[in-house]
Amino acid sequence: MPVIKQLFKQNEEWAARTSDADPEFFDNLSEQQSPEYLWIGCSDSRVPANQIVGLLPGEVFVHRNIANVVVHTDLNCLSVIQYAVEVLKVKHIMVVGHYGCGGVKAAMGNESFGLIDNWLRHIKDVYRAHKARIEAIEDTDKRFNLMCELNVREQVANVCHTTIVQNAWRSGQELSVHGWIYGLDNGLIRDMKVTVSGVDDISRIYSMDGAE
Ligand SMILES: [Zn+2]
């Protein structure tokens, strides 16, 4: 059987299994979605959002791009955050990086990969901001791990700096932004303990008083 056809077969089997387990499942799901979580993660095929945290369809809103980068002018990511916060009213946004991230690794080198170099430049900015701390580490694996972690921290800050998240906090909406990192080698997520739950926790320079 051609490989693509196999996917349709697997889909039919999955739909049948899911309906058998819960005959109302698809009826309920097609009515509405009310996820409490927005997951901003890496496109890496080894980091599937729902599966890792054991959530079903309908339970997590997902945005993925290479190296889980949140860029202030990225209409795609900003639209996902705006819809998730203002319409779905998610209570948690998690930026989920992972060790061994190819995007982070590429950004740490000088090889050109084409158009994507422009995207990875945002991660080079993270490197530049923390250059002394990174270059103080001799071991290249440890350096790489630290960069994966620092990238998560920076992207958590970028989420918090959006006017969308600031407006939500100023209007009293319950919303926390978390930074997590996933280990490809053990399947475990680690909370980096950089959770931000209010506008008082962000740098003053990014604070927009009465932002609209
Ligand atoms: Zn990655």
Between helices 163-170 and 140-161, what is the axis angle to 10°? 60
Does the annotation count 148 as an active-site position? no
Q: Please calculate the CA angle 80-96-205 and round it to the nearest 5 degrees.
A: 70
One domain, residues 140 and 201 = yes
One domain, residues 56 and 71 = yes
One domain, residues 157 and 176 = yes
Amino acid identity at 111: E
The verdict on residue 23 lying in a domain is yes
State the sign of the Cα–Cα–Cα–Cα dihedral 134, 139, 143, 149. Answer: negative
Name the catalytic one among 63, 92, 98, 161: 98
Q: What is the pLDDT of residues 98-150, one digit of tens each?
A: 999 999 999 999 999 999 999 999 999 999 999 999 999 999 999 999 999 99
Residue with tokens 């005959």: 23
The verdict on residue 155 lying in a domain is yes
One domain, residues 15 and 103 = no
User: What is the CATH classification number for the domain harbouring 83?
Assistant: 3.40.1050.10
Q: Kindly report the pTM of this predicted structure.
A: 0.94
One domain, residues 14 and 60 = no
The verdict on residue 211 lying in a domain is no
Q: What is the pLDDT of residues 12-54, one digit of tens each?
A: 999 999 999 999 999 989 888 889 999 999 999 999 999 999 9
Domain that holds residue 41: 35-206
Does the annotation count 98 as an active-site position? yes
Name the catalytic one among 22, 27, 46, 117: 46
CA of 24 to the centre of ligand 1 (A): 36
Q: What is the pLDDT of residues 140-193, one digit of tens each?
A: 999 999 999 999 999 999 999 999 999 999 999 999 999 999 999 999 999 999
One domain, residues 21 and 42 = no
103 vs 209: which has the higher pLDDT: 103
One domain, residues 149 and 63 = yes
- In the chain, how many domains are there? 2
One domain, residues 27 and 86 = no
